[in-house]
Amino acid sequence: MTLLSYDDARPWAKAIKAKVVSREMPPWGADMTQSLPMRNDISLSQKEIDTIAAWVDGGAARGNAADLPPPPIFASGWSFGSREPDAVLEMPVEFEIPAEGEVGVQMFYSKVPWTEDRFAEVVELHPSNRAVLHHAGIYFVDIPEGTKIVNGRIVDENGKTIGDRGSRGLPSTDSGLPGSSKLLSWVPGRGLDIHRADIGKRIPAGKYVSWQMHYNPTGTPQKDRTKLGIWFNKVPVTHEVLIRQAGDPLATTKGGLSIYRAEGRETEYVADPSSTRRSRTTPNIPPYAENWKLTGITPVTEDITLYAMSPHMHLRGKSLKWVITYPDGREQVILNVPKFDFNWQFNYELAEPLKIPAGSKISGIGVYDNSVRNKWNPGPQLEVFWSEQSWDEMYQPFTEYSVDSQDLTVLKPVGSQQKQ
C-alpha cells in the first residue's frame, strides 16, 4: 500500500503501530547495540517509536495540514536524490523471461563508452521489472581476442555464442588493484551504492560491462531491460573502492593465507591476488541442520580502510556477523545481522571509515537454518548445495574497502581522472 498521504496511511494505523513497535518496519537488519554506527541507518529511535504509538493510541488524528512536509521528489525513478545521473548505461537488449522453469544467470556485454578511466561516487542499478529479478551484478571484463558483441552476447569468428554460461561466464578483469572489477550488486533491498566524495569506484575505459542478471520466472512471461545510473566524483579521487568478501584474499599488494571453516572442515586460499587460489571445497549443508556455521577469515596484510559491508545469503540464511581481530588479539564486532531476511538486504555503510592495521583479521561468521523451524525453508529434508538458485545457498559477506598505500592523485593527474 502507498503511505504518501494521511488518507493513505490512516486505515493502516494499528498495523503501522504493531510493525513499528516490533521493529519490523522500517526494515533494518543490523543490531545497532552490537554494530558500529551506520550512516544509512533507517531504524527508528525509541522516541520516534513512542511518538507513532502515541499518535495511534490517541486516535491517529490528522493534525494541522499546514505542518505537512512536502512529498518527496524522485528523479525519473532513481532512488538517489532529485538529480539525474551524470551517465546512464543500459543493458544492451531486453531479455524475455519465460513463465516457468529454471533460468540460469544471463550474461550480457556492452562497451564502456568513454576513453579514460572515470570514478563514480554513486552508482545505482535500476531494473525495469523488479518482480522477476533475483539478483544482479555489474563487473568489468575483457572479451577474448577475435570475438565481437552481437545483440549483447559474445560471438566468435564462426558466429558461436561464448561467455554465456551463467555464473561461469568470462572472469572479471581488474584495472586498478585486484578487487576493482566489481561495480555493485542488486538484491531485494539494495542496488544503490553511495561512496565518499573523494573515494570512488573505477569505471575503466577499454573494458566491457558484464551484466550478470539472474531472473526468476513468476508464472507469466515477463521482460526486463535494466539501467545503470552513474554519478561521478566531483573532487579529486584519492583511493578506489575495492570489493571482496570475508574469507577471500584481500586485494592488497602483499600475500597471506585466508581460511574457510565449515563445521570442522577447514580450507585455505593463497591470499596473493597474482597467484592461483586453491579450490574451495565447502561442504553442503546437511538436512535438518538448525545452526550450521560457515566462517570466512581474511588476513589484512597491509593497512586498509573499511567503508561498508553487505550480507548475501538465501532462504536458509539465518545470521551474518563481521568481526575484526586486531594484532594485539582484541576483537571488535563491526556489524551483526542476527536475523537475516532475504527480502530486505542492505549495504551497511559505516558512519565513519574504519582504519584496520596490517596484522589484523576479518571474519565473516554465517549461520544457516535448514530445519523445520525456518518458515522460509523450501525443503528441510534436503541437502543444500552452493549455487545461484534461491533454493540453493550462497555465502557472500561483501566488504568494501580501500588500500591506504594507494594514492591516485600521485599515480595520475587529477584532470585526466576527473574529466566529465
**Beta bridge mates, 190:** 187
- Tell me how crowded residue 19 is: count the other CB atoms within 10 A of its CB: 15
Phi, psi of 187 (to 5 degrees): -145, 165
Out of 88-92, 280-284, 356-360, pick the least confident: 280-284
Q: Mean per-residue pLDDT for 378-382?
A: 95
- The DSSP code for 145 is T
Output the pLDDT for position 184. 93
pLDDT mean over 75-103 = 89
Of the candidates 22, 28, 11, the one whose C-alpha atom is nearest the C-alpha of residue 53 is 22
Lowest mean pLDDT among 163-167, 170-174, 257-261, 276-280: 276-280
Amino acid at 91: M
Half-sphere exposure of 29 (CA within 13 A, CB side): 26
The answer to whether residues 139 and 183 touch, using CB atoms and an 8 Å cutoff, is: yes
- Of the listed ranges 72-76, 105-109, 343-347, 365-369, the least confidently predicted one is 72-76
> Bigger pLDDT: 165 or 18?
18
User: Tens digit of pLDDT for each residue in 203-258?
Assistant: 999 999 999 999 999 999 999 999 999 999 999 999 999 988 887 766 565 656 66
Task: Write the pLDDT tens digit of every residue in 315-328.
Answer: 999 999 999 999 99
Whether the pLDDT of residue 261 is over 90: the answer is no
Q: Which residues contact 160 (CB under 8 A, 6 or more apart)?
A: none
Least confident of 103-117, 344-358, 385-399: 385-399
Of 282-286, 289-293, 329-333, 346-350, which range is least confident? 282-286
Percent of the chain, pLDDT > 90?
66
Q: Which residue has the cell 573523494?
A: 198
Query: Cα-flanking dihedrals φ and ψ of residue 214, to 5°?
Result: -115, 115
Strand, coil or helix: what is 168?
helix
pLDDT score of 252 = 61
What is the CA 146 to chain-centroid distance, rounded?
Answer: 33
Cell triple for residue 80?
A: 538517489
Q: From residue 359, how far is each of 227, 285, 324 by CA, in Å?
A: 41, 32, 11
Between CA 208 and CA 23 the distance in angstroms is: 42
> Other C-beta atoms within 10 Å of 68: how many?
11
Residue 73 Cα distances to 69, 76, 83, 129, 227, angstroms: 12, 9, 10, 21, 20
pLDDT on residue 278: 40
Mean pLDDT of 190-203: 94
Sign of the torsion angle spanned by Cα atoms 234, 402, 336, 364: positive
Question: Looking at the predicted structure, is the pLDDT value of residue 264 above 70?
Answer: no
Mention the CATH class of domain 244-403.
mainly beta
- What span, in angstroms and rounded, lies between the C-alpha atoms of 34 and 336? 6
Distances (CA, A) of 38 to 137, 151, 191, 400: 24, 42, 17, 14
Instruction: Calculate mean pLDDT across residues 380-409.
Output: 90
The average pLDDT across 191-214 equals 94
- Name the grid cell of 226: 535494466
In whole angstroms, what is the distance from residue 397 CA to residue 296 CA? 9
What is the pLDDT at residue 333? 97
Give the phi and the psi of residue 168 in degrees, each rounded to 5: -100, 25
For 85-118, b/e burial (b = at least 16 CB within 10 A) is bbbebebbeebebeeeeebebbbbbbebeeeebb
Residue 364 cell numbers, joined: 565473516
Please determine, for residue 400, whether its predicted confidence score (pLDDT) is greater than 70: yes
| Cβ contact 251:209 at 8 Å | no
pTM of the model: 0.85
Cis peptide leading into residue 26 (ω within 30°): yes
**pLDDT attached to residue 272:** 42
State the average pLDDT for the chain: 87
Scan for cell 591470499, then name that residue: 271
Q: Does domain 87-240 have CATH number 2.60.40?
A: no
Helix (H) and strand (E) counts in the chain: 5, 25
pLDDT of 370: 97
pLDDT in tens, 272-310: 444 434 445 678 999 999 999 999 888 898 999 999 999
Mean pLDDT, range 52-56, rounded to an integer: 97
Question: What strand order describes the sheet that includes 182-186?
Answer: 106-111, 208-215, 133-141, 182-186
- pLDDT given at position 33: 93
Contact 416, 408 (CB under 8 A): no
Is the predicted pLDDT of residue 419 greater than 70, yes or no? no
Q: In the prediction, which pLDDT does 281 show? A: 66
- The C-alpha R_g of the chain, in whole angstroms, comes to 22
Q: Where along the chain do the CATH 2.60.120.230 domains lie?
A: 244-403
